[in-house]
Copies of this chain bind each other. A is one copy, B any other.
C-alpha cells in the first residue's frame, strides 16, 4: 500500500460502510448451503469470503490497535486466515467447503459485531492504522469480485443451472465496428502508482518504461469474433497455441470459453442469470490466457504488454464503463458509448506478473500481500463487470495463472509496428 495522505475518519467510515454493505447485499440471495459449498480448489465459499474479510479487520485493526478488544470467537482465525503464513496455522484451502458451521447467519453476526467495533474505533485510530482500514476495504472489494465469480462457478456445477439474479433487460445495441488501432511510437513512459490515493504494493514504485513502437486495439474482442475463431478450427490447430496451452486444451478437452455449450446448434453461456444464448456483440469472457494468446496469434496480433496497456488507458476514466455498482445481474455488455478501457472484462496482457524495479514487500504479516505470487501468472488490466466501481485504476495489476478462466477475463489485441 502506498499513499501520501490518509483518508479522513468520515470518508473512511463512509467507504467502510459502503464496502461492507455491498458484500452483504451480494450474499443476500444465497442460502446457507449456497454460501458454504466450495466448488473447486481455486474458489472459496461465499461464507468464507464474508468471514475472511471480516477477520482481516478484526485482526489487523481491532486485535492489534484497539485496547481491550476481545475476539468475537477465538476459533475463527484458524478458519478464516487465508495465506498469511506469519499469522500462524490455518485451515487447508481445499477443505474450506467442509465448514458447515458457523452458519451463514453466524457469519453475518460476526460481520455485524466487527462492523460496529470498527466504526466505533475509527475516529480514534492513528493515520497508519486508518491506512490499514483503507487497505481492508480494497481487500474486501477484491473478495467481492471473487465471491461473484465463485458463486457463478458453483451454480454452474449444479445440473439444474439455477440463476442467482434475473436477467437484465436486453437493450438492442448495434454490432461494434471493426477494431480501430491506436498507434504509438517508441517512447519512454512512466507507469505504476504515483502515490496519490490507495494502491496495492505491487502497483509501485512508479518508474520509467520504454515502449517499442506498437498499436493497441480500441476495443476488446467480441463473442461474435470468438465464434468465428471456433468455427475456423481455432481450438483444433496446434500452431496457434503455446505448448502448455495446447496440452491444456487436449487434456481438458477445451472447445470454447468456460460456461459455453452448444444447444440445438446455438452457442449458449451460463451466467448469474442462468443459461442464455451468447450475445455476439458483447465482449468475450471466461477465456484463459492460453486462449487469449491463441486467439491473438490466429488474428495476426499479440496481447499488449502491461506498460502499453497502462499508457493507453491512462487517459480514460477508470470509474467509467460497465463495473459493479450494486448487487444484481452482472455480465459483459455490448459497448453502447464507444471504446472503453475499464469494466466488462479483465484484459489479459502478455506481461508475466513480476516485481517492478525497486519493488520491496512491506514488513509484517500484511507484507505477505502480493510479492509472493510473482511467478507463473500473467497480469490482467482494466477491471470487469464484477469489479466494484472505484476499485480499478489504470495502474491496477490483477494476476491469474494462464489456465484460469472463471474470472470475467477477456482480450484486447495489440500489434508491433
Spell out A's residues near B (CB within 8 Å).
31-37, 39, 75, 78-79, 83, 85-86, 91, 95, 97-104, 154-155, 157-160, 162, 186, 188, 207-210, 212, 214, 238-239, 241-246, 289-290, 293, 302, 350-352, 354-355, 357-358, 360, 368, 372-376, 378, 402, 416
Contact = CB atoms under 8 A, between A and B. Distances in A.
B31 A160 contact: no
Nearest to A374: B242
Contacts of A402: 375-376
Given A95-B157, A160-B79, A210 B239 contact: no
A244 B399 CA distance: 14
Contacts of A86: 239
Contacts of A32: 31-33
Given A101-B158, A188-B210, A35 B33 contact: yes
Nearest to A302: B355
A34 to B, nearest CB: 5
Contacts of A358: 212, 416
Given A101-B160, A289-B375, A37 B36 contact: yes
Contact of A375 (B97, B100, B155, B242): B242
Q: Which of A102, A159, A210, A302 has the most CB of B within 10 A?
A: A159
Q: Which of A99, A245, A375 has the most CB of B within 10 A?
A: A375
Q: 10 closest A-B pairs (Cβ-Cβ)?
A: A352-B352, A212-B357, A33-B36, A98-B157, A210-B210, A33-B100, A32-B32, A85-B238, A243-B372, A32-B33
Contacts of A35: 33
A241 B103 CA distance: 35
A91 B31 CA distance: 22
Given A212-B357, A358-B212, A37 B37 contact: yes
Given A214-B357, A239-B368, 6 more contacts: A31-B100, A34-B100, A37-B100, A210-B210, A243-B373, A375-B378
A399 to B, nearest CB: 12
Contacts of A246: 85, 372
Contacts of A290: 375
A230 to B, nearest CB: 20
Q: Which of A210, A302, A373 has the most CB of B within 10 A?
A: A210
A215 to B, nearest CB: 13
Contact of A376 (B158, B244, B373): B244
Contacts of A103: 31, 33
24 contacts: A31-B32, A31-B100, A32-B33, A33-B33, A33-B36, A33-B100, A33-B101, A33-B104, A34-B100, A34-B101, A83-B243, A85-B238, A85-B239, A97-B97, A98-B154, A101-B160, A101-B162, A242-B372, A244-B373, A244-B375, A289-B375, A350-B355, A358-B416, A376-B376
Q: Which of A104, A154, A357 has the most CB of B within 10 A?
A: A357
Contacts of A357: 212, 214, 416
A212 to B, nearest CB: 3
